[in-house]
């Protein structure tokens, strides 16, 4: 059996897998009355529907408040109702429920069904993450109906710690979402896509729907439940199912991209300026001809380790253009584009090869990119050096069947080694998935990959460091293999690994806190005994809170850092249990909300710096430690103190105030834009 036949069977398996996973996810929502029933109840209460707003089968007689549409024949029923409306019927519905119809074209059914809603009615559509963007575009084009809420069942994402766990997580494109749609246009969407247990606080959700439908921007943005897409606290809040959240409507056009972007915001430790890949490189979409010609040139052009045959390169270029000129694509327009792209590719390839005395083993002016366009699977661009590229039967068959996309990237303002290494990092992998979830065409997706742009020297250094990291992985594997034969190395190796894990932020938070305490205070580490409580007088003092926020501002204006509240100067963990009990009714959530509100107050850190700050309460030996991680900001942070703006930074284990010329010079040096090349 050929590779091509196996490939076709694999596609059928992928589609069957998608169907089964989605069916199971849908069954989970339907069986969860807290999501299905109470969501309807909350919408009804918020929109003040007339009672009873009972749901009935779509094939029952007219005159009921709600209908359920759940099979292909539903279109016939909806057509009858639509025709009746055209003939003067006033029969409409407060509630319409559309069960999953992912195996057939359902766009027309959805639009026709929504037109049956009363002015104040709402519909719930059960849809997969795969088809969600289609629904979004359909509703945006209609300009009459709008997504107001998205709900789903918990999939254990916050418990997936190992690679094995993550391998079997339900893919977002297979996940079933319960989407609330109405005629009421809102700037925000209410989300709770990972319901962990029962519907969280029904009365609270009713109130959230009322706030949402009021479309009061001030009321929503000042709510603790409102989170921006670039807020690092958004992703943990989503996957842990911690109640409803408000998000901006524009951020939820693609649910899979939303998950990926929020995870990236959680993982990113710096906020360098980014540019799209097409802005810093030359990208050409190719057929197999020019790549095969280039591979031929690689083998034929080299005469020895120092020189190459320029004539062979030119001949390969002419051969590929001759082949393309005799080939007819699906259309003249496509054919001409293929021809012109191949011509540009061979011209650039020869230019760089001649300029750099091209050798197959070290040619770094070109990267080849491949993407298989398989449905129902995680899409991903693969990046290759020419020396690592092999053209096999799978690519050949996929090329014939138009199931593969090939691109060439020539670096113009970016170090291609840095680009390739970035795409292999965790953030790069998420960005890879994000663009393919966001954009329908591979060329558009590749063009819009966002790359952190650093100075030329920084790019070179980072690429070198990542190369060394790859080498280190090989060494670590080798060392692991030798440990059994050398048990005397175990203690030493274990300590070294633990030190590295702490530096790389890959240990549990309690271990990290203990390590930070062990290392003591520095310009990036600060201990505070309490957040508000005067330990001597047992009173709440603003100056103690100010000192905490002053430290955070200092971290923002310096290189970032970590604040531990509940730890004495000598490293003793004393905890903040007493002030949580005394001032926040023993509620951790109340304390966190209080901190957030104080943080964004006009005299403290302010709203724009929230994406740079992550915080969490952690219990260690029954004592609460408040952990705050601060990234360095890309703009200066000022605080108000005694009615004047004050600028703080860190110096040794302390926070200092800068003013006058010293402050001006510091800001110019610290926040000067990194040059690109």
Assigned token pair, 355 = 């300029």
pLDDT at residue 541, rounded to an integer: 93
* CA 462/CA 460 separation, integer angstroms: 6
The pair of structure tokens assigned to 161 is: 């710690």
Q: How far is CA 378 from CA 130, 393, 665, in A?
A: 11, 22, 48
Q: What is the rounded (10 degree) CA torsion for 260, 263, 264, 269? A: 180
Cis amide linkage into residue 52, ω under 30° from 0? yes
**Of residues 160, 407, 421, the one with CA closest to residue 291:** 407
| Residue 110 burial (C-beta neighbours within 10 Å; 0-12, 13-18, 19+) | buried
Q: What is the pLDDT of residue 298?
A: 59
* pLDDT per position as a tens digit, 86-96: 887 777 888 88
CATH for 520-670 is: 3.30.950
pLDDT, position 160: 80
Between CA 181 and CA 526 the distance in angstroms is: 48
Burial of 482 (0-12, 13-18, 19+ CB in 10 A): exposed
Count CB neighbours of 41 within 10 A: 16
Residue 522 DSSP symbol: B
Reported in sequence order, the residue ranges of 611-662 that DSSP labels E, i.e. its strands, are 613-620, 623-630, 638-641, 644-650, 655-658
Contact predicate 348/363, CB 8 Å: no
pLDDT of 497 reads 66
Q: Which two tokens stand for residue 98?
A: 């559309």
Q: Under 8 Å CB-to-CB from 445, ≥6 apart: which residues?
A: 381, 435, 436, 438, 439
Alpha-carbon torsion angle 526, 530, 532, 533, nearest 10: -150
Tokens 């590749």 found at: 446
CB 28 within 8 A of CB 389: no
Bridge partners of residue 286, in order along the sequence: 406
Check residue 365 and give its pLDDT: 78
| 3-class secondary-structure state, position 195 | strand
Give mean pLDDT in consecutive 10-residue pieces for the chain, a chain of 677 residues: 78 86 86 68 79 47 61 78 82 82 67 88 90 91 92 85 82 91 92 70 81 90 89 89 88 93 84 88 84 65 44 62 59 65 74 58 76 82 84 75 86 88 90 92 93 85 77 74 68 66 68 89 94 93 93 94 95 95 93 91 84 92 94 91 90 92 91 48
Q: How far apart are CA 498 and CA 525, in angstroms?
A: 19
Whole-angstrom distance, CA of residue 404 vs CA of residue 395: 7
Contacts of 254 (CB under 8 A, 6+ apart): 132, 133, 136, 437, 438
Strands 55-57 and 66-69: parallel
Please state, in angstroms and rounded to a whole number, the distance separating the CA atoms of residues 533 and 576: 9
Sheet-wide strand order for 613-620 = 525-528, 561-565, 623-630, 613-620
> In what helix (H) or strand (E) does residue 107 lie, and over which residues does it extend?
helix 107-114
Q: Which of 676, 138, 142, 310 is nearest to 459 (CA)?
A: 676
**What was the pLDDT predicted at 72?**
65
Q: How far apart are CA 624 and CA 567, in angstroms?
A: 10
Cβ pair 603, 545 in contact under 8 A: no
CA atoms 630, 634, 640, 644: torsion sign: positive
**Are the C-beta atoms of 351 and 363 separated by less than 8 Å?**
no
- How deeply is 345 buried, as exposed, middle or buried, from its count of CB atoms within 10 A (0-12, 13-18, 19+)? buried
Find the angle CA(139)-CA(143)-CA(147) to the nearest 5 degrees.
45
Q: What is the pTM of this model?
A: 0.67
Q: Would you kindly state where each structural domain of the chain is located, as residue ranges?
A: 17-266, 278-453, 465-500, 520-670
The strand pairing partners of 192, in sequence order, are 151
140: its two tokens: 């945006």
């Amino acid at each position: 059996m050929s590779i091509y036949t196996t490939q076709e069977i694999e596609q059928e398996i992928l589609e069957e897998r998608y169907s089964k996973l989605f069916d199971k996810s849908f069954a989970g929502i339907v069986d969860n009355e807290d999501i299905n029933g109470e969501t309807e109840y909350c919408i009804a209460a918020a929109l003040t529907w007339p009672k009873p707003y009972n749901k009935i089968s779509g094939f029952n007689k007219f005159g009921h408040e709600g209908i359920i549409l759940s099979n292909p024949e539903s279109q016939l029923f909806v057509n009858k109702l639509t025709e009746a409306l055209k003939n003067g019927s006033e029969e409409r519905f407060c509630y319409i429920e559309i069960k999953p119809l992912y195996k057939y074209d359902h766009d027309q059914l959805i639009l026709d069904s929504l037109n049956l809603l009363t002015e104040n009615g709402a519909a719930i559509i059960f849809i997969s993450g795969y088809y969600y963007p289609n629904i979004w575009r359909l509703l945006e084009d209609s300009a009459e109906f709008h997504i107001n809420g998205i709900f789903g069942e918990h999939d254990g994402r916050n418990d997936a710690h190992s690679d094995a766990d993550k391998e079997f997580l339900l893919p977002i494109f297979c996940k079933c979402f319960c989407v609330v749609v109405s005629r009421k246009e809102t700037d925000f969407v209410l989300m709770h896509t990972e319901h962990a247990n029962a519907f969280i606080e029904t009365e609270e959700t009713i109130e959230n729907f009322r706030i949402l439908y009021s479309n009061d921007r001030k009321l929503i943005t000042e709510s603790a439940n409102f989170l921006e897409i670039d807020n690092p606290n958004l992703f943990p809040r989503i996957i842990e199912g911690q109640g409803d959240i408000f998000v901006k409507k524009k951020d939820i056009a693609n649910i899979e991209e939303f998950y990926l972007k929020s995870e990236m915001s959680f993982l990113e430790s710096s906020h360098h300026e980014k540019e799209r890949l097409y802005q810093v490189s030359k990208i050409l979409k190719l057929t197999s001809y020019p790549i095969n010609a280039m591979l031929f040139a690689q083998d034929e052009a080299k005469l020895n380790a120092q020189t190459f045959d320029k004539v062979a390169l030119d001949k390969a270029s002419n051969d590929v253009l001759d082949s393309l000129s005799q080939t007819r694509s699906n259309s003249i327009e496509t054919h001409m584009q293929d021809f012109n792209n191949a011509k540009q590719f061979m011209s650039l390839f020869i230019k760089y090869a001649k300029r750099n005395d091209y050798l197959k083993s070290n040619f770094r002016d070109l990267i080849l990119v491949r993407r298989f366009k398989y449905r129902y699977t995680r899409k991903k661009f693969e990046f290759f050096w020419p020396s690592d590229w092999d053209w096999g039967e799978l690519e050949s068959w996929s090329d014939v069947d138009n199931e593969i996309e090939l691109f060439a990237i020539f670096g113009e303002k970016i170090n291609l080694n840095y680009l390739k290494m970035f795409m292999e990092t965790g953030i790069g992998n998420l960005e890879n998935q994000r663009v393919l979830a966001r954009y329908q065409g591979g060329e558009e997706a590749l063009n819009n990959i966002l790359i952190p742009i650093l100075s030329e020297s920084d790019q070179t250094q980072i690429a070198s460091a990542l190369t060394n990291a790859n080498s280190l992985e090989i060494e670590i594997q080798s060392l692991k293999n030798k440990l059994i034969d050398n048990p005397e190395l175990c203690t030493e190796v274990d300590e070294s690994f633990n030190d590295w894990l702490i530096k790389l932020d890959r240990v549990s938070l309690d271990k990290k806190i203990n390590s930070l305490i062990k290392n003591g205070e520095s310009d990036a580490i600060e201990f505070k005994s309490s957040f508000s409580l005067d330990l001597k007088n047992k009173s709440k003092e603003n100056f103690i809170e100010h000192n905490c926020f002053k430290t955070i501002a200092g971290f923002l204006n310096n290189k970032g850092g970590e604040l531990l509240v509940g730890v004495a100067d000598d490293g003793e963990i004393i905890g903040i249990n007493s002030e949580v009990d005394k001032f926040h009714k023993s509620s951790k959530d109340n304390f966190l909300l209080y901190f957030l509100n104080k943080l964004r107050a006009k005299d403290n850190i302010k709203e724009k710096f929230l994406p740079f700050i992550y915080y969490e309460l952690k219990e260690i030996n029954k004592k609460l430690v408040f952990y705050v991680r601060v990234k360095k900001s890309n703009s200066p942070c000022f605080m108000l103190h005694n009615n004047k703006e004050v600028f703080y930074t860190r110096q040794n284990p302390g926070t200092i105030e800068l003013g006058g010329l010293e402050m001006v010079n510091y800001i110019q040096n610290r926040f000067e834009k990194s040059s690109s090349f």
